[in-house]
Amino acid sequence: MKRIRVLIVDDIGDTRESIRRLLEFEADIEVIGEAGSGSEGLRLAENLHPDIVLMDINMPDMDGIRATELLALRVPDTAVIIMSVQGEQAYLRRAMMAGAREYIVKPFTGDELASTVVKVFEIENRKREALGEKTEIPLVTEKGRMGQIISFFSTKGGVGKTTLATNLAVELARSGKYRVLLIDLNLQFGDVCVFLNLSPKRSIADLAQSGSLQYSEIQSYLLTHSSGIQVLVAPTRPEYADLVSVEQVEQILQEVKPHFDFIICDTVSRFEEISLLSLDLAEKIFLIVGMDVPALKNTKLSLETMDGLHYLDKVTAILNRSANDLGLELKDVEKSLDFKISFEIPSDGKALLPALNQGVPFVKQHPQSKASDGIRKMALSLINQSNQVEEVSSSSQECKYKGLNRLRKVFGF
């Protein structure tokens, strides 16, 4: 029998070391890696494809239950054994519903741990044999993916662009079927990490200075949110924005496309080189519209500029914080812009503002709200369209920077 490849996921280093030592006495078990969080464990499992993941249930950034749910979908040939100090039936039931194969209560002996690992491995092997599958699991590649780039743009701050970008990303990742990357391209004052209550240690500026923009390097700069989305955050200080060039952003976007289903870019609210690059490379541009006269005036000018850059065929207008008591109706907005509004996100500040202040996406905190329903409609539209998206041909790549070059010609930068 081949050696059973095990990945240990626990946020306490001493516990990971103790488990590793217990398994070192087993000739038929090999520890191939350790992770200190659910998000790191998920990333390692996707790369290493272990036979068994020993998963602690209580971890700070992404708990073992959510990590198990995502593993069951993204690495289905890996079996998860949940470890916990709680032995109550409620915890066991949650673990099994998430997709865990076994549940072991701490503290445990080496014999208890080893026998559980072997038992789960043998059961999984018998299942594969019954289904006619090979017991040797080939590494899964992601060559079949070709992610859609969706760029969020608005003509001014405060209209809810970042709110919608973060909530859409979380909604797309909710089922666990789709890999979603959220990139904060507001390089001076990006707030994506605040909206998701993330504490970044490294940003896109650090990545740009790393010397390598291959996906293997990019991975180590991505944060994983508890929803399952991965995030590349903006620089931590405004002056660090100058460390990131438009060419580097382009390479990053090209590198991540084969590894994600959706790449969502939250851009700065003006036409400048990096935001224009993201509009150029995007399959879809979500233009966020506010329900006040200055916002409509600027949106109208923005649409005229995008028309000159030949972007209109991929622009979708989103009316955010729509309400009937603001003196404007949907038909007034569409007439003013001479452009169709595809989605409305109703105003619900009393419910959504507390969620924003807590750094919790409102699609998680208030899933039954009308605003969440609007986000779900956007997500469903993207998912339906993604099934029809074909891989970009090499000839279309010749068009990159077309908007950037035109804007340089028009505005002289």
Is the model's pLDDT at 286 over the cut of 50?
yes
Find out whether 6 and 34 touch, Cβ atoms under 8 Å.
no
How many Cα neighbours within 13 Å face the side chain of 56?
25
The 10s digit of each residue's pLDDT in 170-180 is: 999 987 788 99
CA–CA separation, 239 and 61 (whole Å): 29
How many Cα neighbours within 13 Å face the side chain of 285?
24
CA–CA separation, 348 and 323 (whole Å): 9
The 10s digit of each residue's pLDDT in 26-35 is: 989 999 999 9
- Cα dihedral 338, 288, 170, 45 sign: positive
Q: Is 394 helix (H, G, I), strand (E, B) or coil?
A: helix
Find out whether 71 and 44 touch, Cβ atoms under 8 Å.
no
Angle at 310 between CA 377 and CA 338, to 5 degrees: 60
The 10s digit of each residue's pLDDT in 87-138 is: 778 878 888 888 899 999 999 999 999 999 999 999 988 887 777 654 443 3
Residue 48 CB: number of other CB atoms within 10 A? 15
Helices (H), 25-105: 38-48, 64-74, 89-98
Angle of helix 110-130 versus helix 13-24 axis, rounded to 10:
70
CA–CA separation, 400 and 34 (whole Å): 41
Q: What single-letter amino acid sits at 152?
A: F
Question: What's residue 136's pLDDT?
Answer: 42
How many angstroms separate the Cα of 283 from the Cα of each of 171, 287, 342, 375? 19, 13, 16, 19
The 10s digit of each residue's pLDDT in 384-394 is: 887 665 444 43
